[in-house]
Amino acid sequence: MTVGWHFDNTYSKLPKSFLENIKPVPVKDPKLVILNKNLAEQLNLDFSKFSEIDLAKIFSGNNLPDGSETIAQAYAGHQFGHFTMLGDGRAVMLGEHLDKDQKRYDIQFKGSGRTSFSRSGDGRAVLGPMLREYIISEAMHALNIPTTRSLAVVSTGEEVIREQMLPGAILTRVASSHIRVGTFQYIAATQNPDDLKTLFNYTIERHYPEIKQSETKALDLLNLLMKKQCELVINWMRVGFIHGVMNTDNMTVSGETIDYGPCAFMDQYHPQTVFSSIDQHGRYSYNNQPRITKWNLARFAECIIPLIDKDEQKAISIATETINNFEKLYEEKWLNMMRDKLGLFSEDKEDKNLIFELLTWMENNKADFTNTFCNLMEIQSIKDPIYQNEEYLNWKTKWKKRLEKNNTDKEKYLELMRSVNPIFIPRNHKVEEALKDASEGNLETLNKLLEVIKDPYKDNNMLEEYQKPMPSKNGKYQTFCGT
């Protein structure tokens, strides 16, 4: 029997300063909780002939497949603005798998035990947060947002100490790579120019081979990364997603969303929304995500200054000018994204005012972010009386007048709106229900939620309960990082 693994491990061949060769710590009694069969098929992996017992051994790291080469990666990070040398303290890379099209994927275990980077951590993960990552990463994929994905979750049969004793688990994460801004920060901090060039060339070879022949590779890489990260955060803003922990070690050079810790989706629109229990000052609030993206990009630029130009002052000047282009780039892309959400073709000088009037009304009236755009798309299941508000109806009159400038039929602008405005997001209370039931051994709620979010742009009036925001009686919603 063969799964179809096709390992071709390149990162593990880098200098030892980049990584630690280490095996996952075996677990007591692994049991398969969930397997992502659709993702497995996309990876050209076939697990159909394996029992759940065998699958649990594979995805816990108790049985390592042929060709795997397990490592923990070194990286650093600005965590809430404070620089720290980090690394995979509870994750181990299984290897790099190639699919039939030779596309390369990192396969990583999260919660697989202590490494030399663990510091005071136990190297383990808890079932709830691992299932949360599974749910949210699959939702992001369905929403057409670049993301790491989850292949499997197993329970370990061991308890993990957090605020209390909780069931342990291991997540198998799939990414186009785990190279982060923090990886560059780590190597830059070691002050080894050869290692920096090695990482730089490896990153270009793996993710941006189109600039290999350029005379200005370092500047090109900075511009490409800025564009990718700008597009990513605009996608987050489009669907009301709040990452919650945008540290530099959680920004990939591939432009994928990574690390679904205290993340959540916004119900009532408020630009300062924060869910993370540890974000006391709103550093990673909804509206601050673009600013932090620019800040993180500046940290990346600092790392590659020696590669931009031999003259340090000239290199700093070039990097600063490049990073300062971020606001203009973001504003232009954000405005176009909001035009799409409102079904507006072409540009009009009053578009920005029209958009901000709506957002101001939403904030003042505590309107649901997702459902407001559903109402504009005439989704019949959205029946909140808030949308009979006189101010809102007056705004809609202005909006409809602007739509006339599209010079196209109604179906055309609705088609545009339906392509970018989800009807279903993983509502926070529905995620919590699924995690609670799963912790008690009932996966039915989890599987139903996964089925709903698999097709977020398709109207289904049979699923009205999945469109409703969290009941106000539930109080303020908070999320936790799980470490």
pLDDT number for residue 1: 59
Over residues 97-119, mean pLDDT: 96
Please check whether residue 232 is in contact with residue 257, taking contact to mean a CB–CB distance below 8 angstroms.
Answer: yes
pLDDT number for residue 475: 74
Confidence of residue 320 (pLDDT cuts 50, 70, 90): very high
Q: Where are the beta strands (DSSP E) in 91-221?
A: 91-98, 104-110, 125-126, 149-161, 165-175
Please identify which residue in the block is written with the tokens 């920005």. Answer: 352
Q: Is the pTM of this model over 0.85?
A: yes
Query: Can 309 be counted among the known catalytic residues?
Result: no
Please identify which residue in the block is written with the tokens 């606001």. Answer: 327
Least Cα distance to 304 among 322, 327, 329, 330 occurs for: 322
Percent of the chain with pLDDT over 90: 90
Per-residue pLDDT tens for 417-446? Answer: 999 999 999 999 999 999 999 999 999 999
Q: Where are the domains of the chain?
A: 11-178, 215-333, 344-483
Please check whether residue 422 is in contact with residue 456, taking contact to mean a CB–CB distance below 8 angstroms.
Answer: yes
Which one of the listed residues 106, 194, 220, 249 is annotated catalytic? 249
Per-residue pLDDT tens for 343-367? Answer: 999 999 999 999 999 999 999 999 9
Q: Is the pLDDT of residue 471 over 90?
A: no
Q: Would you call 96 helix, strand, or coil by DSSP? A: strand
- DSSP H or E run through 197: helix 193-207
Q: What's the farthest any 2 CA atoms get from each other in the chain? A: 66
| Spatial separation of the C-alpha atoms in residues 239 and 249, rounded to whole Å | 23
pLDDT number for residue 172: 98
